[in-house]
């Protein structure tokens, strides 16, 4: 039984890890769900087996250990709440970009393309222009992520000030 | 005594509930947050004094004795951290109230902020590994909301990275908890500290590495840091300041706590910790040099600075740990100040990119001073607090003859100075090459909005005070380090033997 549970946890972790490494948000969320389930299965394995730990249930010895189950329950509740939040976030992202792909950090790309640091400072605007240019050349929805920024129709977002906080309806 | 320990967790939670109930009035919400956080600051200072005078204070939840009940423990390290955290939270709250922008007016901001502060306090005070997980989740869930409160496109993208990484770390933490419970049958830290001695050596090392990795993700250690500079800069300045000052430091606290308390000296991965510390410092600062935006440079510096704290831990001597604790004290204050100044730069300059702001030393001299003090302190220029912190770490390192890490730490200080000067020359000295993103706000008589300037200035003065009062503070850090290296006191206080 322990072996079976261990195998189940291992399988959940393996599939979860694979899914988490995808670029689509929906798959990542399912993957995270599987990862947490794997951890919960480990909790089920953790305690001692035995009779239900209820007062007045008869036997005074050989109870099962209730603590891991309580901990697993807490963990399930927490991961449920956070997964719901993540789904809302993914939905928000889908509303804004029409895609549930997780995008790269644009500034990272700019710096990767900019080469030397001080050149990058001077050429930041030129680089942005380059990316805009690339956008026209690459067909939209290309599967490969070649770092050309095809999924960033709104490159100005990068330079928007933080405080504006405007919420599109 | 009991109340002192529970109030820093309970008060903000009650305040958060109350804040939701009076959601129609922003003014009432602000008053609640200010009152609660001022009270928590007072309580945590009282707690720190009591702990330093009379030793470790514990509370057993529900009156059950330790390994069965859930323990709350305040020793010197956790009470020092709690004092700093509550001062930062209060200062940043005032700043957030003074900052123009949409997020701070959001109905949820104040209550979520209070929940964050409860989570931070609970992480420092808990004496139970599973409760540490719960406290982490409380803190992280609040931080997910704060980082995405504006719901702009860049925030949502950065928020997704942040949430996903944190969730994976949480899943790993859960697995570690399950495995540790299977092996030892307890999750109480004091009890674990005793039982870990009976665990086979290989398994013990595996647990040490597992916990190091999990908290390393939260703290931003090399090579697990890349989520941090990606997600922090998108949040509003006040939120970023709290994250930068506190959240990663909670991870550092958890690393220090678990590595010193749970594992006997021979089971600690000392060499590995030192290598990670060196790599974290070095890669972090190189990342900072490559950036061209104030907040992003500062975010990479968080990573780099975490390396110093871990270096102090990796020495596993009283001097090393005292240096690490002193470094944490200095870093929390200085880093928060720098991020608050970053917000001021965006306010009076109209942008955070180095090429789009310029000449602020003439137009906003107050902001320039407020930047220069913590920036030089971060780089370790005497006589500021960063110099004292780095000096104590370097002298602890030379005492141990760990020349490589000492050399790396000095080299990284130099790079830190370089990238701070890059901000200085880009933002304050040289003229702007491009137009700012938005029309800059008027500087005004006080050098900026009063409610933004005052907390920033207060923290800058506090960082100078740390340098002035370095001797008693370092003594305190040394006492805390001595406690950490001798876990018997902690174990006896919790288990009541």
Interface confidence, given as ipTM, is 0.83
B174 contacts A43? CB cut-off 8 A: yes
Q: Which helix (H) or strand (E) holds B123?
A: helix B109-125
B99 contacts A163? CB cut-off 8 A: yes
In a domain, A58, yes or no: no
> What was the pLDDT predicted at B109?
86
In a domain, A18, yes or no: yes
Contacts B350 to A, Cβ<8 Å: 161
Chain A 125-154, residues with CB within 8 Å of chain B CB atoms: 125, 154
Give yes or no: residues A26 and A79 share one domain: yes
Q: Is A8 on the interface with B (CB under 8 A)?
A: no
Q: State how far residue B331 is from chain A, nearest Cα, in angstroms.
A: 24
Q: Is A93 on the interface with B (CB under 8 A)?
A: yes
Tens digit of pLDDT for each residue in B374-422? 988 888 888 888 888 888 889 988 888 888 888 888 899 999 999 888 8
In a domain, A169, yes or no: no
Tens digit of pLDDT for each residue in B277-312? 999 999 999 888 888 888 888 889 999 999 999 998
CATH code, domain carrying A73: 1.10.287.3510
Name the band, by pLDDT with cuts 50, 70 and 90, for residue A94.
confident
Mean pLDDT of chain B: 87
Structure tokens at B431: 């003229």
- Residue pair B230/A105 in contact (Cβ under 8 Å)? The answer is yes
B437 contacts A159? CB cut-off 8 A: yes
Q: Is A102 on the interface with B (CB under 8 A)?
A: yes
- Radius of gyration of chain B from its Cα atoms, rounded to whole angstroms: 21
Using alpha carbons, select from B9, B458, B461, B452 the residue that is nearest to residue B236. Answer: B452
In a domain, A79, yes or no: yes
Tens digit of pLDDT for each residue in B463-472? 899 888 888 9
CA distance B128 to B119: 14
Smallest CA–CA distance from A36 into chain B, residue = B171
> What was the pLDDT predicted at B356?
82
Is B15 or B24 the better-scoring residue by pLDDT? B15
Give yes or no: residues A37 and A93 share one domain: yes
B357 SS3 class = coil
> What was the pLDDT predicted at B239?
87
Give yes or no: residues A70 and A116 share one domain: no
Beta-strand pair B57-60/B71-74: antiparallel
Name the band, by pLDDT with cuts 50, 70 and 90, for residue B103.
low
B175 contacts A42? CB cut-off 8 A: yes
B271 CB-near residues (< 8 Å, 6+ apart): none
Name the band, by pLDDT with cuts 50, 70 and 90, for residue A163.
very low
Give yes or no: residues A40 and A76 share one domain: yes
CA A95 to centroid of chain Cα atoms:
18
Q: Is A76 on the interface with B (CB under 8 A)?
A: no
Interface test with A, best of B100, B139, B164, B207 (most A CBs within 10 A): B164
Contacts A16 to B, Cβ<8 Å: 171
In a domain, A139, yes or no: yes
Give yes or no: residues A134 and A72 share one domain: no
Report CA torsion sign: B239, B240, B242, B246. positive
Is B72 or A104 the better-scoring residue by pLDDT? B72
Q: State how far residue A42 is from chain B, nearest Cα, in angstroms.
A: 6
Give yes or no: residues A47 and A114 share one domain: no
Is A167 or A27 the better-scoring residue by pLDDT? A27
**Where among A78, A97, A116 does a domain terminate?**
A97
> What was the pLDDT predicted at A59?
65
Q: How many domains does chain A have?
A: 2
B174 contacts A167? CB cut-off 8 A: no
> What was the pLDDT predicted at B97?
85
Give yes or no: residues A67 and A134 share one domain: no
- Answer yes or no: is pLDDT of B147 > 70: yes
Contacts A96 to B, Cβ<8 Å: 153, 156
CA distance B370 to B383: 16
Smallest CA–CA distance from B99 into chain A, residue = A163
Structure tokens at B215: 């908290």
> What was the pLDDT predicted at A57?
67
> What was the pLDDT predicted at B1?
65
pTM here is 0.86
In a domain, A87, yes or no: yes
pLDDT average, residue stretch B250-261: 91
Give yes or no: residues A38 and A114 share one domain: no
Judge if the upstream peptide bond of residue A4 is cis by omega within 30 degrees of 0: no
Contacts B236 to A, Cβ<8 Å: 162-163, 165
B296 contacts A107? CB cut-off 8 A: yes
In a domain, A74, yes or no: yes
Report CA torsion sign: A103, B235, B222, B224. negative
Interface test with A, best of B100, B174, B237 (most A CBs within 10 A): B174
A107 contacts B130? CB cut-off 8 A: no
Name the band, by pLDDT with cuts 50, 70 and 90, for residue B336.
very high
Q: Which helix (H) or strand (E) holds B340?
A: helix B318-349
> What was the pLDDT predicted at A162?
42
Percent of chain A topping pLDDT 70: 58
Give yes or no: residues A11 and A85 share one domain: yes
CA distance B492 to A43: 29
- Answer yes or no: is pLDDT of A125 > 80: no
> What was the pLDDT predicted at A139?
40
Q: Is A157 on the interface with B (CB under 8 A)?
A: yes
Give yes or no: residues A77 and A129 share one domain: no
Structure tokens at B10: 């309970």
pLDDT average, residue stretch A30-42: 91
pLDDT average, residue stretch B44-69: 84
CA distance B19 to B29: 5
Q: Which helix (H) or strand (E) holds B51?
A: helix B26-54
Give yes or no: residues A70 and A136 share one domain: no
Query: What residues make up the domain containing A136?
Result: 106-164
Q: Name the least confident of A12-21, A101-110, B214-223, B381-390.
A: A101-110
Strand partners, B74: B57
> What was the pLDDT predicted at B107?
79
Give yes or no: residues A123 and A86 share one domain: no
In a domain, A157, yes or no: yes
B434 contacts A125? CB cut-off 8 A: yes
Select the residue of A28, A35, A89 nearest B148 (Cβ to Cβ): A89
B182 contacts A42? CB cut-off 8 A: yes
How many Cα atoms occupy the beta-carbon half-sphere of A154 within 13 Å?
Answer: 11
């Amino acid at each position: 039984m322990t072996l079976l549970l261990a195998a189940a946890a291992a399988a959940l972790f393996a599939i979860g890890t694979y899914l988490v490494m995808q670029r689509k948000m929906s798959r990542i969320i399912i993957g995270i769900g599987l990862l947490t389930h794997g951890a919960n299965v480990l909790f089920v394995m953790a305690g001692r087996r035995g009779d239900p730990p209820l007062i007045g249930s008869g036997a005074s010895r050989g109870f099962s250990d209730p603590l891991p189950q309580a901990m697993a329950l807490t963990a399930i509740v927490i991961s449920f709440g956070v997964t719901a939040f993540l789904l809302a976030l993914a939905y928000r992202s889908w509303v804004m970009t029409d895609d549930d792909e997780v995008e790269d950090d644009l500034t990272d790309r700019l710096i990767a393309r900019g080469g030397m640091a001080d050149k990058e400072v001077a050429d930041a605007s030129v680089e942005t222009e380059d990316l805009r240019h690339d956008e026209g050349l690459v067909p939209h929805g290309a599967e490969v992520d070649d770092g050309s920024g095809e999924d960033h129709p709104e490159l100005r977002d990068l330079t928007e000030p933080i405080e504006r906080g405007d919420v599109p309806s | 005594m009991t109340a002192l320990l529970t109030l820093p967790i309970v008060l903000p939670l009650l305040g958060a509930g109350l804040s939701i109930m009076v959601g129609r009035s922003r003014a009432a919400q602000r008053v609640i947050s200010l009152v609660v956080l001022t009270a928590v600051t007072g309580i945590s200072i009282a707690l720190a004094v009591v702990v330093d005078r009379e030793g470790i204070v514990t509370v057993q939840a529900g009156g059950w004795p330790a390994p069965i009940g859930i323990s709350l423990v305040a020793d010197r390290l956790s009470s020092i951290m709690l004092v700093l955290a509550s001062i930062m939270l209060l200062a940043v709250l005032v700043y957030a109230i003074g900052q123009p922008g949409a997020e701070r007016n959001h109905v949820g901001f104040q209550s979520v902020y209070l929940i964050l502060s409860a989570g931070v306090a609970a992480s420092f005070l808990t004496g139970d590994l599973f409760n540490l997980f719960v406290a982490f989740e409380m803190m992280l869930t609040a931080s997910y909301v704060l980082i995405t409160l504006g719901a702009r496109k860049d925030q949502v993208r950065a928020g997704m990275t942040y949430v996903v990484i944190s969730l994976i770390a949480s899943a790993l933490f859960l697995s570690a908890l399950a495995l540790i419970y299977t092996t030892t049958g307890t999750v109480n830290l004091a009890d674990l500290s005793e039982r870990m001695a009976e665990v086979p050596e290989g398994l013990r090392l595996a647990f040490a590495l597992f916990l190091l990795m999990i908290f390393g993700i939260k703290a931003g250690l090399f090579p697990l840091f890349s989520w941090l500079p990606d997600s922090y800069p998108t949040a509003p300045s006040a939120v970023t300041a709290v994250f930068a000052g506190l959240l990663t430091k909670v991870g550092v606290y958890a690393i220090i706590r678990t590595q010193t308390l749970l594992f006997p000296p021979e089971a600690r991965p000392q060499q590995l910790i030192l290598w990670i510390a060196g790599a974290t410092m070095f890669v972090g600062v190189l990342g900072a040099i490559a950036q061209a935006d104030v907040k992003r440079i500062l975010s990479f510096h968080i990573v780099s600075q975490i390396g110093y704290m871990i270096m102090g831990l990796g020495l596993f001597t009283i001097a090393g740990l005292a240096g690490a604790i002193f470094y944490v004290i200095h870093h929390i204050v200085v880093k928060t100040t720098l991020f608050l100044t970053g917000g001021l730069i965006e306010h009076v300059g109209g942008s955070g990119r180095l090429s789009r702001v310029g000449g602020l030393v003439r137009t906003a001299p107050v902001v320039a001073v407020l930047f220069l003090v913590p920036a030089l302190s971060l780089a370790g220029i005497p006589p500021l607090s960063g110099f004292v912190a780095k000096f104590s770490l370097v002298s602890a390192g030379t005492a141990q003859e760990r020349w490589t890490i000492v050399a790396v730490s000095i080299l990284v200080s130099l790079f830190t100075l370089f990238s701070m000067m890059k901000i200085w020359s880009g933002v304050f000295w040289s003229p702007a090459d491009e137009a700012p993103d938005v029309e800059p706000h008027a500087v005004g008589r006080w050098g900026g909005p009063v409610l933004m300037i005052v907390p920033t200035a207060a923290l800058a003065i506090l960082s100078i005070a740390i340098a002035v009062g370095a001797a008693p503070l370092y003594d305190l850090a040394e006492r805390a380090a001595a406690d950490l290296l001798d876990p018997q006191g902690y174990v006896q206080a919790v288990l009541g033997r």
